[in-house]
Structures are given as structure tokens and as C-alpha cells.
Structure 1
Amino acid sequence: MYYRNSTKQVKCVLDDYVKNGTVTLFQWQKSLPFTNNVDLREENMFAALNDCVLRSINVHKYVAPFDVDEFIVTKYTTILQFLEAFDKRGGNEISFVFRNAFFYLPWPDDPNYSGLDLTTQKKTKRITEFTPMKRRAKYICKPEGVAEIGNHYLWEMTKKNYSEIVIKTELGHLFHYRNCEHDNCFEDKFIEDRTMWKYQEELEKRTKTVEQNFVEKCQLDPLRNI
């Protein structure tokens, strides 16, 4: 993770994950030797993304540059199972692109949900139309095949025969939980998508374990039940 600042509570949690080896934390300054914000965007994000890819070569098989409000969900139980199924075909895919679907936070919670107050569980309304390719999409790539990456797709690969594949939405897509992108989002067409409910039992179990470790130590508010 590339760290510039946070609340004391968040830093407390991060420090614990650093100590147990789960997270590697890099101090990331806004004042890096880059000045073109049009190309690099906020906090020199593109520099961080490409630094991550370079550090991952010969260390990690896959790199997945996601935001904290984004989740890739597939027909398989885990993302790794999904990727391994593609690898068995022996193709030249170096990047797997997942199209984006918004679950707008201002939309009402699912009235049929009961359980811990978890965003991925209570927000089940998603827009009917997926955003176009290369807009808001996210991907998983193999770092050794990447020359340069962007936020939503690869900019350049290391070999001409490498390819980028767009995953069919019925096989998997990006679940994106955020505020509305425009003023009249309440007029957007939506469907009920309760796919995330298949993870509820395991998610609540793990969340409660984490909560026990951090609520008192890091002065966090405990999650409520809905």
C-alpha cells in the first residue's frame, strides 16, 4: 500500500497488518519529481501503480490495482480459481478486464437484508447497464507482461503477441460501491443483484474476528446489526 496520510485509527490498523507481514507500506509523498497532473492524476497515482507492477515482477503472479470501494466477483468461489481456469487454456492473455457496474450508496438498502452493517451486503441495487469498456473498468494482470499500466486498462505490454481480454459480464464483473456520478442517479434503471449474499456467512465470521482484534486497540466503533 502507498501511504501518505490517514486518521489515527486507520494507521493503527495498518501498523498491525505491517507487523504480521500481511501489508507492505510505502511512504508516498505528493511532491514526487512529476508535475503533469493531467497524466499522473491525484497523488501521482499512475507512478504508484507502475511502481507496484515493477516491484511485483518475479514476486507475484498477478497484480490487481483496485480501489477500496471496488470488488471483482466471478462465478467461481475465488478470483484465483477463476484466473487459474483461464491459465489452463494456455493463451497469451496478460490482462483480464472486468467491466464496471455501480451500486450507488444513496439508493435504499435492501429491505430483505438482515445481518452486520456491511456495504456489500445491504446495497443490492445496481445499474442495469454496465459502463463502456475502458471506462471505470478494472483489471488483473501478470506483471512480467506489462510495460506500462493505467488506472482502468493496460497502456502497453512487453510483447506484441500478448493480449488483454474483456471478461463477459455473466462470468464476472466489478461491483463498485460509491456515491452517484451525476445528479439524477435516482432516475437510473436498476436491478436487484444479491450475488454478494453468498459470502455473508464467511464475511461476517471474518469481520467479527477482525473487529475483536481492533475495536479496543484502535478505538473503532463496533459494527451494528441491521
Structure 2
Amino acid sequence: MGSSSGGKKKFLNLRNRQRANMSFVMFVMFFAVFGMIVFTEIFFIDEKNKASGVLVRHGSLGFHNKDDRTEYDTDFQGDDYISIRVGQAMMDNADIGPFLLGRPLVHLSNMDTSQSKFFAEGQLPSYPENLTISDSWQNVNGSRLFGKIGIYAVSVVAGLKDPPSNMLTVINNFNETAGKTSSTIGKFAVCVKPLHFNYNKELQIMEFIELNRLMGVDHFTFYNHTIGPQVSCILDHYRKEGLVTLLPWKLHMVFQKEIRTEGLFAALNDCLYRSMYKFSHTLLIDLDEYIIPNYNETLPQLIDYLNHRLKARSTGSYSFQNAFFYLQWNDDAKVEELSDPISANLVTLKKTRRKTKLHPHKQRSKYICRPELVVEAGNHFVWEFIPAHGTLNVPADAAILHHYRICEFGGNDCIKTSSTVDRTAYRYLHSLTSAVRARYDQLKLKCNLSDPKEAPTKMLQKILQMLKSGAQRKR
């Protein structure tokens, strides 16, 4: 018994020593690996930095020709301050280096440079000994100058060390609006996909612009793929008033059909970034679509209401459900009371019957976004936001998207679906009619506008309705 218990104790002691030795070995291995990582980060980080594009490291911001670069220009060990340096492969290039630096550094006074990552620091050149200091200025050699810089251009390269060859200048709207107050910056803008197929609907373009203006829109951006002479003249007039930006849109692609209607997504994102910082909110809609509030008069009022009601601090876009107002449905009965041919031809007043069932969000929906919070825009919803922001699905009782079009799958079967009469747009009846009529009278001769169709009389409307109903029954 005694020998058996003694052997067991020896075995347990041996196992304990083995475990202790194993723990010590693992402890040593952990610190060895940790030490190698730290050693690599400290002593090999410079090689990584040289291969990068733009980085932050010790050194002075500046461009030097290889011929006049002195020894101390590449010695960064003694610097006691941080500045932004452009990758070595780009800065060594005599043609590219100065271009990447962009505009000269501007002296900034009374500003805490430590609070911004967009400040760079350089050293003033030595004061020439043969010049005499005038007034009360005093120069100290080695004085530092702070300046505000930003990304001046971007390029696509095959490798990080390859010199860029296709410079694209960065247009930073933030610089244009940085000194302005919220009251001097436009609030709402509209982006419309490219106009094509020689688009030339005179009253539709005027109704679209004037109704959105009544709802608080400040500016419109259109892309001209192919438009007719009358619409071209109308848009040019709005452009001269500062209400419209009309951009040429000719994409030289062999397979344009595969890019979805002449580069729809490229145009939407181009417009998104153009409106960034210039406007607080941007609508991405088509010419046959209107985001109409149910209770508020204007879109800014609607957004303020939603923000107050739902506390949407992180909202980057507001999505609105789509409602089809099919053009095959009969005109509203009140059209016969509109003796003015202009008002009788406005689609938002003629077509008041809509499909009862609304499309869910992200299906046919459209949105209002805050451009500075969006990375990539889509047609029916935002594809990517900056972190911590997203979409607010607006309740249908607050506002919906009024979409005026023919049946989306062809034929007339769509009008057999459940429908309801929605006269929300009649809130703008008088103001819209006055605005469009005034614009039409102003441009009729100048743009050679065609005469609007006369409003149908009550008897004629009944006859047309009977003929239309009979034709549908035969089908």
C-alpha cells in the first residue's frame, strides 16, 4: 500500500512539472511573437509607407527636383512635428509632383491646427541676408507655416508605385459653401435621369419644374442625351434664370442597352456629388413622378415634420412608396370645369385615379437624400451610406410618390385593378395653373410652342368615355 501511494505521488509531481514547463514555454512563445510584431511595425513601417499613396508621417510637405534635393531633405528623423506627405513614387516625378500639391498653402491665423486632419505644416525658407527687414516684421529662420490642404486630383493606376497618367481634378463643393450660412445655401435640388428619344413634351417639362418649385425645390439638374428644339429652348430659359443646370450626356459605349438607359446610374451619382454641400436635400425622380405631401405644403416642411415626429437624426434618405396613376384611366370629372386649356392639360390635375395598393419600399419607390451622407445612389433606393446612417421609410399617410404613366407591362389590364381617387395635387391647382400659364405665355413665341389641346366639353367627354368603354369590352 505504501509503495503504491508513493509511486502515485511521484507520478502526479512529474505531471505537474511537465504542465508548468509547458505553460512557461507557451508564455515565452507568446511574448516572442508579440515582440516580432512590434519589431516589424517599428523597423519596417517605412517600406510600407513608401509604397502608399497619401499618408501621414514625419516630414515636411514639399516637392523637390532630384537634382536640387539636399541630404537633409530626406532625413525625417529629427522632425518634431507631423505633416502630410504624398507617396514617394509620385512626388519624385517632376511633372506630377507639383500637380498633386494643388493650390499653394494659404496662411491661416488664429486657428487651432491640432483640431483638423486637413492641415499641413511646412517650413518657411531662410530669410535672405542681403535684404533689410522693413516695418515691424521680424523673420525667424526655421519658422513654420500652417496651411489647409485637400485632395486635388485622383487617378486609377495598375500598381501603387505606378505614376498616375489620367488625372481627374477633384471638385470640392465644401470649399464653396464653407463660409456661407444655412440661409444662403439652397435647400432642395432635383436630379433627373438623362433625357433621350428627342424628348420634346413642352407642357410636361414646365409642369414638372413649376410644381416642384411650388413644393420648395430650388434647383434642377438635367442631362441632355437627345431633346427636341422646344424643350431645349425652355430649359435654356430656366438655365439663364439660374434654376436649371443642363449637362450634355453622350456616352460612347458600344452596348448602351446594357448600361440601363444611357447611363442612368452614372448620371444619378454625378448629380448627387454635384449637389453635395450645395443643397441640404436632393430628390432623384423622373419627369413623370412627383413626391407630394398629404398635409404639408412644401417638401422642406414635410422633412422638418418627419424629423420632429420620428427623431430621424441618423437619416440619410427618405423613401416614398410608389402609387401608379395610370394614364389609361379617365380624366377627372373636374377637368370639364377647367375652361383654361393650360390647366386642362396638366397631368397632375387630369389624372386623379390611382392604384389602391402601393408598392413596398425599394420597389418602384423614390427618395429624397442628404447628399453628404450618401456614398452611392441607386434609382429606387440608396445603395450605400456613410457609416451610421440609413433610410427612413416614410409612412404613406405623410406622403407618397405620384407616378403618372401607362400600364407598365403594356396593354390596358392594369386599369382593372382596384383603384381610388386621389386629388391631393389639387391643393396646387390655382398656383400651378398660374405659374405654367405665365411661363407658357412668356415662351410661346420665343420657343415656338404648340397650342395646348382645348378642354373637352361635358358632352364630348361622355361620348369619348362611352367609345373608350366599348373598345375595352371588345378586347
SS state at 2:333 partner: coil
1:195 aligned to 2:414? no
Structure 2 residue ranges without an equivalent (≥5): 1-221, 456-475
> CA 1:214–1:36 in 2, change beyond 3 Å: closer, same or farther?
closer
Structure 2 matches for 1:68-217, cutoff 5 A? 68-74=287-293, 75-88=295-308, 89=311, 91-113=313-335, 114-115=337-338, 116-117=343-344, 118-159=346-387, 161-182=388-409, 183=411, 184-217=413-446
In structure 1, distance between residues paired with 2:252 and 2:313? 41
Structure 1 stretch 144-153 or stretch 110-119: which is displaced more?
Answer: 110-119
Q: 1:219 aligns with which of 443, 448, 462?
A: 448
* Conserved 8 A contact 1:103-1:178: yes
Cα deviation, residue 137, structure 1: 0.4
For the residue of structure 1 that corresponds to 2:284, the secondary structure is coil
**Cα distance 1:86–1:192, how it changes in 2: closer, same or farther (>3 A)?**
closer
Say whether residues 1:51 and 2:270 are aligned partners. yes
Number of residue pairs matched by the alignment: 223
Deviation at 1:177, TM superposition (A): 0.3
| Aligned pairs (5 A) from 1:17-28 | 17-28=238-249
Partner Cα distance (1:222, 1:168) in 2: 40
Percent of pairs identical after alignment?
35
Matched residue SS, 1:135: coil
Which residue is equivalent to 1:61?
280
Shift of 1:20: 1.7
Cα distance between partner residues in 2 of 1:11 and 1:112: 32
1: CA distance between counterparts of 2:434 and 2:256? 45
CA RMSD, 1 decimal: 1.7
Residues 196 and 225 (structure 1), Cα distance of their counterparts in 2 relative to 1, 3 Å cut:
farther
- CA separation in 1, counterparts of 2:423 and 2:276? 36
Deviates more, 1:100-109 or 1:181-190: 181-190
1:175 is aligned with what amino acid?
H
1:1-47 deviation digits (Å, cap 9, x = unpaired): 11122111111111111112111111111326x96854x41110100
Hey, what's the Cα distance between the residues in 2 that align with 1:64 and 1:120?
18
| Structure number having the greater helix percentage | 2
Q: Which has the larger radius of gyration?
A: 2
SS in 1 for 2:269: helix
- Pair 1:90–1:175, CA change in 2 (3 A): closer
Whichever residue aligns with residue 174 of structure 1, its letter is L
The 2-side partners of 1:130 and 1:162 are apart by 26
Pairing partner for 1:8 from 224, 229, 235: 229
Structure 2-normalised TM-score? 0.45
Give the letter aligned to residue 226 of structure 2.
N
Q: Give the TM-score, by structure 1 length.
A: 0.93
SS in 2 for 1:62: strand
Measured against aligned partners, the alpha-carbon deviations of 1:40-71 in whole angstroms (never above 9, x if no partner) come to 41110100101111111211111111100000
Alpha-carbon contact 2:256-2:262 (below 8 Å) kept: no
| Counterpart-to-counterpart distance in 2, 1:188 and 1:90 | 35
- Equivalent residue of 2:361, what SS? coil
* Rounded Cα–Cα distance in structure 2 between residues aligned with 1:134 and 1:35: 27
SS of 1:51's equivalent in the other structure is: helix
Which is further off, 110-119 or 55-64?
110-119
